[in-house]
Each structure stands twice: as C-alpha cells, then as structure tokens.
C-alpha cells in the first residue's frame, strides 16, 4: 500500500518515470542486439559481403547504443528504487529488484569488455557474450514483472485493489 503524502499527480509522475525509461531501454535493446549480430557477421564475412557490411558501421552503432543503454539501465534502475521509496517508504526485496541489480552489474561488465574487444581480444568477446546473454533474458523477464507491478500500482491509484 502506498504511503506517500505527495499530491496524486506527482505520485503518478514519479511512478511512471521508471516504467517509461525501461520500456524505451527494452525496445532499444533489440536494436543493440541486431547491430551486435551485424558486427559479428562483418567480422566473419569476406569479400564483397564484408565490404558491404563495413559500410553499415554496425560496430560504431552497437558501441554507441550499448553505452546509452548502460546509462539508461543504471539511471532507470536507480530511479525505480527512489520512486519505490518515495511512494512506499521502503524498498521491496523482490525478484524485480534483484533482476534490475543484475542487469546493472552484468551490463557494466559487458561494457568494460568493449575497449579490449576493440583491440581484438577474443576473451573480451567471450566475456561480453557471456554477460549480455543473461542481460537479454533478464531484460525480458524484467518487462514481464514490471508490467505486473505497473498493474498493481494502477489498481492502487484507482483504489481497486
């Protein structure tokens, strides 16, 4: 049950920021995945196909979007925790919270591998893949549990709960 004494409009705004940010991050994750796959295709291609793929500059797009995603995941996760505290006067130890913390942790490890990947280090690609695959699964799971939490909040705002 929400304990906040803030005006209802402000409570709704506070409650909406995290889900909106995470929805945007969820959608952008698919672009980053696509560009990451294209980077791998480029690296493994040869001849005309490789020349064509290089023109796509997928490596730059993947790197830039990955950097933005990491920032959105971290800032969005922290905003979610702050919003929960402002609305409920506590942080709930839930699968959604732990999933978000793991996304931040694994995403930062994947990003830390990027400079080494640019130097051609195979181990860094392995680290990147081994951390990003769980992130993709967690982002999907987080979207499911996040929708469930949004439904609970909407019911609380409407007084139907």
Residue 160 lies in a domain: no
Residue 53 lies in a domain: yes
> Residue length, the chain?
161
Residue 42 lies in a domain: yes
pLDDT score, position 161 = 66
pLDDT tens by residue, 68-105: 999 999 999 999 999 999 999 999 999 999 999 999 99
Domain that holds residue 135: 8-155
Residue 2 lies in a domain: no
Please list the pLDDT of the chain residue by residue as tens digits (161 residues): 888 899 999 999 999 999 999 999 999 999 999 999 999 999 999 999 999 999 999 999 999 999 999 999 999 999 999 999 999 999 999 999 999 999 999 999 999 999 999 999 999 999 999 999 999 999 999 999 999 999 999 999 898 86
Residue 88 lies in a domain: yes
Written as one string, the DSSP assignment of 52-68 is HHHHTTHHHHHHHHHHH
| Structural domain total, the chain | 1
């Amino acid at each position: 049950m929400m304990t906040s004494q803030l005006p209802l409009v402000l409570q709704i705004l506070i409650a909406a920021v995290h889900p909106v940010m995470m929805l945007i991050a969820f959608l952008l994750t698919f672009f980053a995945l696509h560009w990451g796959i294209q980077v791998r295709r480029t690296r493994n291609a040869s001849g005309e196909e490789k020349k064509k793929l290089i023109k796509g500059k997928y490596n730059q797009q993947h790197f830039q979007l990955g950097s933005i995603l990491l920032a959105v995941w971290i800032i969005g996760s922290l905003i979610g925790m702050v919003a929960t505290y402002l609305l409920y006067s506590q942080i709930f130890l839930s699968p959604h919270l732990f999933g978000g913390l793991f996304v931040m942790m694994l995403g930062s490890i994947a990003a830390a591998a990027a400079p080494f990947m640019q130097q051609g280090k195979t181990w860094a690609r392995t680290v990147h893949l081994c951390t990003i695959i769980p992130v993709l699964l967690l982002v999907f799971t987080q979207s499911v549990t996040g929708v469930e939490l949004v439904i609970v909040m909407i019911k609380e705002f409407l007084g139907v709960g």
